[in-house]
């Protein structure tokens, strides 16, 4: 069945079997990420210690609690990213600021009513 799907992709996209397989795997990953990762861990393709990122709300709460401003947050995240070898364990500072601006606007709008 998988061979038939790959053959269909190859014919319709006029592509190689490797490109068709790559496309199919990308689609499967995007639709079933948790299952895909579980199988990869079982097969030993990736390390079972999958890196986790702190979500936007927790990251923003941390920055607000310690009263870190925009500039200092950028510097902090830059140093952490360099220390961890390019990996970040926090959502990007830009996403956090956009979230905060959205929540602030929403709160102001709610207060009007």
Tens digits of residue pLDDT in 21-50: 888 888 888 888 888 888 888 888 877 665
pTM above 0.85, yes or no: no
Query: Which tokens in the block code for residue 13?
Result: 């996209």
Q: Check residue 93 and give its pLDDT.
A: 62
Domain locations along the chain: 2-42, 56-112
Tens digits of residue pLDDT in 80-107: 777 776 666 666 666 766 776 777 777 7
Q: How many whole angstroms separate alpha carbon 66 and alpha carbon 29?
A: 37
- Please answer whether residues 88 and 53 qualify as being in contact, where contact means their C-beta atoms are separated by less than 8 angstroms: yes
Q: Indicate left, alpha or beta for 41 from its phi (over 0: left) and psi (-120 to 50: alpha).
A: alpha
């Amino acid at each position: 069945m998988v061979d038939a799907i790959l053959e269909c992709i190859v014919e319709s996209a006029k592509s190689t079997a490797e490109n068709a397989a790559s496309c199919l795997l990308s689609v499967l990953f995007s639709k079933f990420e948790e299952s895909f990762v579980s199988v990869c861990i079982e097969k030993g393709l990736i390390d079972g210690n999958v890196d986790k990122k702190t979500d936007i709300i927790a990251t923003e709460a941390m920055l607000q609690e310690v009263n870190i401003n925009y500039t200092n947050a950028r510097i902090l995240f830059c140093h952490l990213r360099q220390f961890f070898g390019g990996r970040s364990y926090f959502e990007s500072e830009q996403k956090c600021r956009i979230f905060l601006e959205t929540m602030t606007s929403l709160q102001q709008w709610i207060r009007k009513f």
